[in-house]
Amino acid sequence: MEKKAYLAGGCFWGLEAKMQSLPGVIETEVGYAGGNTKKPTYIDVCRETTGHVETVLVVYESGQLSYQQLLEAFFSFHDPTTCCAQGITFGTQYRSCIFYLTEEEKQIAEQVIAFLEVSGIYDKPIVTRIVPLEEFYPAEDYHQDYYRRHGLIDKL
């Protein structure tokens, strides 16, 4: 069965490319979520006035990839212990967030974070926010599938 997940963890270009590499991922789309501005643009989001974060919509086949497995991969793809920064990118639009659609997804996200917190994998607390998805706004076309279109997949 096809399902959707909305995840934010740094620049959406790199996160999208990493998600695309997972078996069971059917398609992805980058955009904005979590803020209070309707139909934000990239420039709006970069000005840090919208409250939105760069987010990746991941469409996946749940028979091949469970939501828990998807979240485990998500946590391995970025540093969930830093607020508003991933690598060399800084700003509130790079916050780590899981936008859930159902209470079951919320519970799974909480369980994955609880496991990671006690596992000793990270030296600092996880700051990933778990929030309900209110609206997802697709980013401009030039942001979609950025790594593939620019031959950067091998740079991951």
Q: What is the pLDDT of residues 68-113, one digit of tens each?
A: 999 999 999 999 998 876 666 778 899 999 999 999 999 999 999 9
pLDDT band at 151 (very low <50, low <70, confident <90, very high): confident
pLDDT band at 53 (very low <50, low <70, confident <90, very high): very high
2-8 and 53-61 strand pairing: antiparallel
What domain range is 137 assigned to? 2-155
Q: What is the pLDDT of residue 156?
A: 63
Are 53 and 32 in contact, with CB atoms under 8 Å apart? yes
The pLDDT > 70 percentage for the chain reads: 95
Closest CA to 15 of 3, 27, 30: 30
The pLDDT > 90 percentage for the chain reads: 83
Tokens of 76: 């391995």
Total number of domains constituting the chain: 1
Q: What is the pLDDT of residue 43?
A: 96
23-32 residue pLDDT tens: 999 999 999 9
Residues acting as catalytic residues: 11
What is the domain-level CATH number for residue 126?
3.30.1060.10
Q: What is the pLDDT of residue 155?
A: 62
pLDDT of 115 > 70? The answer is yes
Closest CA to 55 of 92, 91, 99: 99
Q: What is the pLDDT of residue 88?
A: 63
Tokens of 43: 């420039």
Q: What is the pLDDT of residue 81?
A: 93
Distance, CA of 52 to CA of 116 (rounded, Å): 26
Q: What is the pLDDT of residue 87?
A: 66
Maximum distance among all alpha carbons in the chain? 40
